[in-house]
Structure 1
Amino acid sequence: MSNLDETIRELQTLRDYWRYAISRFNAADLSYGHGTTTAGDDAAFLLLDSLDLPIDALDPFLDARLLPAERRLLAERIEARVTTRKPSAYLTGRSYIQGVRFLVDERVIVPRSHIGEILFNEYLNGQGSALLPDPMSVESAVDICTGSGCLAVIAAKFFPMASVDAVDLSADALEVAKLNLAEHEVEDQVELHQGDLFAPLAGRTYDLIITNPPYVDHEALDGYPPEFRAEPQMAHDGGADGLDLVRQILADAPAHLNPGGGMICEIGSGREILEEEFPHLEFQWIETAESQDAVFWISAEALGVS
């Protein structure tokens, strides 16, 4: 009997598999950061999503006995998580932003943008947003570096009157984004474009620019664990200090913003560099659950649009 068969024979309930997964993950010294931060959370996600159960409701199912096929599936995925070091989202083929499910694979970075959290917080608080535009006033929006298309999909949901463009340099990423547009039934509202930042959008202007570009510096890239190396490098590489694409976006954005509009941009940990380099720009930093200054808002007027 193989080790995998022995595992399947011995483990019966979801609680058994969760405990076993945590032990295996800790022993293997896995890394996290693709929507989970601990071995327990990552194991819970892998098991629940594999069984198509709500990913935030482990307790009700802990003592459920599993079918033989389910036990084999979970044992195989735990083994794959340890031996391949791929993020759990690649093993289940799905990832989530604020509970919204997106299809993912190795052609795209696993969605985990702070901007998704901000949009939900700003527009679902019942009080409106102090910074971002009124949802019904946005008639045009663009998601630069769209990847899986997750932020473009969320934008289509929050800005129902808007036509949304979504741009990525990677043709492979856009194939995944196309799947997500269909999954969320927003194909008629969102148009995909292949190209470098604003290059395929000549002459187009927007009320809102959303962008989560690559912003990891080369020193950090060199120290990446296997889980992050499993993702497309171009989705992380922001140049020597991580801000090469942010600089280009700031330079190009004014030509693509309507008066009264603005841009929300995620930059990671580059605030100090950015403010020193652009002292004349009024960045307004938006706090999230994990950061106070990973995302900024800047108005069209602050960028010189009149």
Structure 2
Amino acid sequence: MTAELATIIDFIRYGASRFGEADVTFGHSYDNALDEATHLVLQTLHLPHDLSPAYGQARLTSAEKQAVLDLFERRVRERTPVAYLTGKAWFAGLEFITDRRALVPRSPIAELIQNGFSPWLDGRDVGRALDLCTGSGCIGIAMASYNPDWQVDLVDISDEALSLARENIDYQDVGACVRAICSDLFTGIPGEKYDLIVSNPPYVTESEFAALPAEYAHEPKLGLTAGSDGLDFALRILAEAPAHLTEHGVLIVEVGESERALVERLPEVPFNWVEFAVGAMGVFVIDRADLVAHAPAILAAAAARG
């Protein structure tokens, strides 16, 4: 059957059909079979992601056909995310090296970065920014790429994730303004202060993790789970961030589906929930002043977790 496949378009169509037939799960950079198949085919052929449609009728060599078909079958059989199969992922319009040392880049915070964090940073001066729980480094490196006058720190507790982040620092050539630091949240950066702290920490509950599709088993659990309600890290960040924010600093955190649990636990805290192009995605923005004003409640909630 596959002997009839010849062109780039043929293989993209076949891959999308194969993924749909096998009922694979999407959610790692792409949300549909056609985009995943396109990424896999173009990366395997070492072609740009924005390849002109004029090349769609280009024919593959025998070796190229086999390489693409092998990856299609691995995607179906192993349920490995496409980004791990190709070793590359796109985030905020930038290409990143991707493997199992860190989660596949996919945060909606990419939209904030590309939009200049408007309106949240409108009228504010940012000199230093922190990407907390950086993983592959995609958020912090993208911030530096879009704002080359910022000094950006990438922090993670995982040495493996940091090794990948450092590779991406070199890959994007932002070493002059980005550094990677091993730290358990803020413990390894005493005295450091930032105008902007952005974090996509683990926020999946243990029950949610147990029910995740097989694709997520390829990612490090350390980067996903955060206790029974998904707030183990978010509450620590809220409690500790004021000491690391400048007077007019801003904190932005992604908590995903744990948004409801956070609001129920801290109903009086004035979280600003970001509306993205596709709707709400569990990302809040809060000023340092509001964190300080509600510190007693935040500290009590964090302390109650032991």
What is the TM-score with the length of structure 1 in the denominator?
A: 0.90
Q: Distance in 1 between matches of 2:139 and 2:53?
A: 30
Of the three residues 99, 115, 123, the one matched with 2:93 is 99
Cα distance, 1:213 vs structure 2 = 0.3
The one-letter amino acid paired with 1:190 is V
Q: Distance in 2 between matches of 1:277 and 1:295?
A: 16
Equivalent position of 1:117 in the other structure: 111
Query: Does the Cα contact within 8 Å between 1:111 and 1:150 map onto a contact in 2?
Result: yes
Of the three residues 70, 90, 100, the one matched with 1:76 is 70
Equivalent position of 1:126 in the other structure: none
Equivalent position of 2:174 in the other structure: 186
Q: Distance in 1 between matches of 2:281 and 2:218?
A: 27
Cα distance, 1:235 vs structure 2 = 0.8
Distance 1:164 1:206, change over 3 A: same
The superposition leaves residues 175-194 of structure 1 with CA deviations (integer Å, 9 ceiling, x where unpaired) of 11011000111112111111
Equivalent position of 1:265 in the other structure: 253
The superposition leaves residues 253-290 of structure 1 with CA deviations (integer Å, 9 ceiling, x where unpaired) of 01111101111111102222212222332211111133
Cα distance, 1:133 vs structure 2 = 4.8
Structure 1, gaps ≥5 residues long: 1-5, 124-128
Cα distance, 1:241 vs structure 2 = 1.0
- Equivalent residue runs for 1:4-23 within 5 Å: 7=2, 9-23=3-17
Equivalent position of 1:34 in the other structure: 28
Query: How well do the aligned residues superpose, as a CA RMSD in angstroms?
Result: 1.8
Structure 2, gaps ≥5 residues long: 294-306
Indicate the larger mover: 246-255 or 273-282. Answer: 273-282
Of the three residues 205, 211, 214, the one matched with 1:226 is 214
Query: Does the Cα contact within 8 Å between 1:164 and 1:190 map onto a contact in 2?
Result: yes
Aligned length: 293
Query: Does the Cα contact within 8 Å between 1:138 and 1:159 map onto a contact in 2?
Result: no
Query: Does the Cα contact within 8 Å between 1:97 and 1:117 map onto a contact in 2?
Result: no
- Equivalent residue runs for 1:291-302 within 5 Å: 291-302=279-290
Cα distance, 1:251 vs structure 2 = 0.7
Matched, 1:142 2:142: no
Query: Does the Cα contact within 8 Å between 1:133 and 1:261 map onto a contact in 2?
Result: no
Q: Alignment identity in percent? A: 40
The superposition leaves residues 26-49 of structure 1 with CA deviations (integer Å, 9 ceiling, x where unpaired) of 222111101111222211121122
